[in-house]
Amino acid sequence: MKVAVFSTHRFEREYLEKTLDGKHDTKYINSPLSIETASLAEGYEAVSIFVSDNASTAVLQILGKIGVKFLVLRSAGYNHVDLEAAKKLNIKVARVPEYSPYAVAEHTAGLMLALNRKLIRSHNRVMEQNFSLDGLVGFDMHEKTVGIIGTGKIGSVVTKIMNGFGCRILAFDKIENHELKNKYGALYTDCETLCRESDIITLHVPLTLETKYLIDKSFISKMKKGAMLINTSRGALVCTKDIIDALKNGQIGYFGMDVYEEEEHLFFEDHSEDILQDETIALLMAFKNVLVTGHQAFLTKEALRNIAVTTLQNLDCFENGIKTNNELLV
């Protein structure tokens, strides 16, 4: 099958080439999929896209017109794809439902530790030969209460890691995981109790109409003053304006984010020579108690390998008319 791979990043190309080349006729395109670039897929049956690509109705209509039949995502999230439009255009869509829950969970723990122990500030001081410890006091993770919102595959691994630190774990999810309750001491409770009692809150739910701006002014007002909030799931789970207000008044003591609701034209690209136009993220980056990473929680060798392998499996299934559980249906 002829496959056009959009948004080919240097960090993933080695894994894609090793897995796809020789099995499919693959064209690698550095540019993201958009209205302007969709025509580059002319003559190709399948298109593979990254989480930051645009698969809106207008883009899918162009793809459908030039003969694209399959859209293969290199991500678990699919809120950048208009599935209704894809169905009408008879374009089949498949995703990578999981690539490494350990990658995201471990990055989550890394953000907690870096914020708590002020590792970035400490490193910057030492690089200037300043070995003062003033302002670097952290806290023991042991016996702190960690609230985990969403105990799917990633949230479950976070629960196990936090259990290893000796934390008290509160969990909120529609479906309770009995292993986490019985083996790791997770106590399922309502969202209000979780945010009232937790020293650290971490988000691991998908972005839906129900969860958009889950963390807003009302939720934040119920949190323990000075608590830590971590988001490695989806940017729009939090209302960024309300987060900034809470950082200013001290209601949120620490904020770690790997995702941002306006990341589409910012993350995954080098803007080091540009003037940053996004005033909101510029303000967030100015806080000493905020740590921003550029949607890299997934970025491990194992995850990249799994993404490439599942992408190949999805392409093979579509080519051979075999049903795949990874297909996204309206």
* Active site residue ranges: 234, 263, 295
Could you tell me where the beta strands, DSSP code E, fall in the chain?
Answer: 2-5, 25-28, 46-49, 70-73, 92-94, 145-149, 168-172, 187-188, 200-203, 227-231, 252-257, 290-292
Residue 226 has, within 13 A of its CA and on its CB side, a CA count of: 3
Amino acid making up residue 90? N
Report how far Cα 134 is from the mean position of its chain's Cα atoms: 34
Residue 304 has, within 13 A of its CA and on its CB side, a CA count of: 16
CA distance 161 to 237: 23
Residue 70: which of 50, 89, 98 has the closest Cα?
Answer: 89
List own/partner pairs for 263-267 with CB under 8 A and 24 or more apart: 263/52, 263/235, 263/294, 263/295, 264/52, 264/54, 267/52, 267/294, 267/295
SS3 letters for 39-60?
Answer: HHHCCCCEEEECCCCCECHHHH
What are the tokens at 115? 């914020």
Length of the chain as a residue count: 330
Q: Return the DSSP state at 269.
A: S
What are the tokens at 265? 């034209």
Query: Are the CB atoms for 79 and 230 separated by under 8 Å?
Result: no
